[in-house]
Amino acid sequence: MTIRSLSFGLCAAIAGMSMLSTASTAQSIRNHDSNAPVDFSAASMELQDRADRVVLSGGVTAIQAGLTLKANRVTAAYSSNGGVDVNRLDATGGVMVTKDDLRATSNSAIYDLDSSLITLIGNVNLVQGSNRLTGGRLVIDLNSGRSTINGGGAPGTTNGGGRVTGSFSVSQRKN
């Protein structure tokens, strides 16, 4: 079901239900179409029409133009000015964001579709190929293709003492 743009399926559902510390540039997601429709699947969906949001729970998967967001629970906030336009996804519980060979995991995430920013918070792990980074907070800017990870995260999370840690692979060079 498409939730970025007004879709017949969502209309039917609505009608029927009436950078803080050390920062480092990380691997990035390039050439992502943040205006593409977002398709989702979940075990259950609750429409909170007065609050302009949809709560998806139970193994949620949201896919947009090859970018996949998985979590235990996702709240989709929307505006209803002349239709339904989802502008933010809040994900909690076992969050994983993947695109191509990049995989990022965290405790929670916010995907602001209007500004094309994905922010992962708490116990962030970022893997691309053999490169690995950990930290407390990761911001992925889908417009610029730049990602920034820092050691600061949500209270009560572990992230290596508030520092970014990682390992980068190095190509073998001939002497």
- pLDDT tens digits, 94-105: 999 999 888 999
Residue type, 69: L
| Count of all residues that appear for the chain in the document | 175
CATH level 3 topology of 8-15+19-167: lipopolysaccharide transport protein A fold (2.60.450)
Q: Is 51 helix (H, G, I), strand (E, B) or coil?
A: helix
Residue 58 has pLDDT above 80, yes or no: yes
Question: Tens of pLDDT along 140-168?
Answer: 998 888 889 998 655 555 555 678 888 88
Token pair of 160, please? Answer: 């290596």
Token pair of 117, please? Answer: 């920013």
Q: Which helix (H) or strand (E) holds 132?
A: strand 131-141
Residue type, 8: F
Residue 138 has pLDDT above 50, yes or no: yes
